[in-house]
Structure 1
Amino acid sequence: MKEYKNAPSEQNSGGEFGYIDSIYSGSGVDGKGLRVVVFFSGCNLRCPFCHNPETLFGQGTRTGVSALVQKILRYKPYLKRGGVTLSGGEPFLQKDFAIAVIRALAEHGVPVCIETNGQIADAELIAAAEYIICDVKNQENADLSAYDAFLSVCDALGARVELTNVLVPSKNDSEAALFALQKLYRSHRVSEGIRFLPFRKLCLEKYEKIKMQFPYFDVNEAEEEDILYAEKYISGI
């Protein structure tokens, strides 16, 4: 179920409101347990494998904290072992709004994690979340220094962190790429581990809808053996 489709809106001026693309209820992959996912509009990256291109170019819908929280609370009975995930787009671009939403949900006993691209190391927002899911975007760039900076802040705060990585054949499945990812993983307190996500093309319809060509259209999808190899490499087996 999705709500809040893209629509023109004014610029965000503070934490009392923000801009989101949609809400998805019933996710079992965006964090622990069953979750409501809030997709923030706007992103500071343009990853060629992005599965949510609609969040990149639309301004989103202006939404107040109270209105968003009330919509989320409809699903509270189903979130006993889960919670809410702020995703995107990039939630760290709307720091004040994200913090306000987290604090408002905390008053109702609803935990919130954040999915991020790890490019904005904001200590206040990191500390506000129950835990962080940091997706390492190493498909076109082998420089992981931004993630070192982000994870160093997480280390200092004692934040719970899970790393994710979209494994794309011929792009970031080489031994060199996996070695760099392994080094990053072992250099920080990644308490929640690392999870490889197989590259898929389920987003093709979204690209067609916004009249954009999917940059990785000709790239093969990842198979189970690709994921198993990457997992064994990272674990040192």
Structure 2
Amino acid sequence: MIKGKIHSMETLGTLDGPGIRMVVFFQGCNLRCLYCHNPDTWLTTKGITISSDEIINKAKKYKPYFKFNSGGITFSGGEPLMQPEFLLECLKKCSEEGIHTVLDTSGVGYGNYDEILKYTDLVILDIKHSDKEKYKKITGLDINSYYEFKKHIIKNNKNIWLKQVVTPGINDTYEDMTEFENEVNSFPTHIIQKVEILPYHTLGVFKYDNLNLAYRLKNVPILSKERLEKLKAYLHIEKLV
């Protein structure tokens, strides 16, 4: 039995996929996004060592809630794709139990994507930016890994929710929104179930202090509701919420 590293688990979540969900936050992430609010998930040397059976046995207790409103289990992070073997084992066991699965990811991992997507019911894909220079500025990494995972989503005809965090001074212009819209439109329309732009917030800044890490957006204000609504109104995306 494969064991993996997780940061934490949340029960009865309502924001990480359809219905009521149990959310498993994987430990480890290669990205270093400027606005990341979970720097405590970055290192795979940290976290809780756990087996897939421990996760599934816990999830089974919530199956009545899942069935009531089409809920299930969401694998988030950190970045779940950094632990592909452990993730795949969890997904397979969910499938055996008839539990709906969501993969919440930035699409940057260590491969085996076709097999992973075979047991994934829905992907929530975080689009950092479609411009390669801005993508690297935001994440610290090259955009090609994201494109590789995107290719497998399309190949496997996998249902997706698409999202992007909008940060003042980083990706909050109308030109940025046009880039985002073009990226959304590059996916087959029939697999897109939902599109969302999320406002930058500072709720995780205290974690940087606790970890003795410099927070690089210290003087950047949160994105106002008014600005968010203007950007949403600019977009012409059918399934934008």
Same fold (TM over 0.5): yes
Q: 1:21–1:29: structure 2 CA closer, same or farther, 3 Å change rule? A: same
- TM-score norm. by structure 2 comes to 0.84
Overall identity of the aligned pairs, in %: 28
Out of 53, 59, 81, the position equivalent to 2:46 is 59
User: Shift of residue 110 of structure 1?
Assistant: 1.1
- AA aligned opposite 1:78: Y
Out of 85, 91, 97, the position equivalent to 2:86 is 97
Instruction: Report the counterpart of residue 207 of structure 1 in structure 2.
Output: 208
SS at match of 1:99: helix
Separation (CA, whole Å) in 1 of partners of 2:33 and 2:54:
31
Q: 1:102–1:89: structure 2 CA closer, same or farther, 3 Å change rule? A: same
SS at match of 1:115: strand
Q: Which has the higher helix share?
A: 2
Separation (CA, whole Å) in 2 of partners of 1:32 and 1:89:
20
Q: Is the 8 A contact 2:79 2:108 kept in 1?
A: no
Say how many residue pairs are matched: 223
Please identify, of 108-117 and 133-142, the stretch whose mean Cα deviation from structure 2 is larger.
Answer: 133-142
Q: 1:202–1:22: structure 2 CA closer, same or farther, 3 Å change rule? A: same
User: Shift of residue 175 of structure 1?
Assistant: 2.1
SS at match of 1:107: helix
- TM-score norm. by structure 1 comes to 0.85
Please identify, of 21-30 and 55-64, the stretch whose mean Cα deviation from structure 2 is larger.
Answer: 55-64
Instruction: Report the counterpart of residue 134 of structure 1 in structure 2.
Output: 125
Instruction: Report the counterpart of residue 7 of structure 1 in structure 2.
Output: none
Separation (CA, whole Å) in 1 of partners of 2:108 and 2:162:
13
Please identify, of 121-130 and 104-113, the stretch whose mean Cα deviation from structure 2 is larger.
Answer: 121-130
Instruction: Report the counterpart of residue 95 of structure 2 in structure 1.
Output: 106
Give the unaligned 5+ runs of structure 1. 1-14
Give the unaligned 5+ runs of structure 2. 136-142
Out of 45, 55, 71, the position equivalent to 1:68 is 55
Deviation sequence 1:74-130 (CA, Å, 0-9, x none)? 332322221111000110111111111111122222111101112346222123211
RMSD (Å), alpha carbons: 2.2
Instruction: Report the counterpart of residue 166 of structure 2 in structure 1.
Output: 167
After TM superposition, the runs of 4+ consecutive aligned structure 1 residues lying more than 6 A away are none
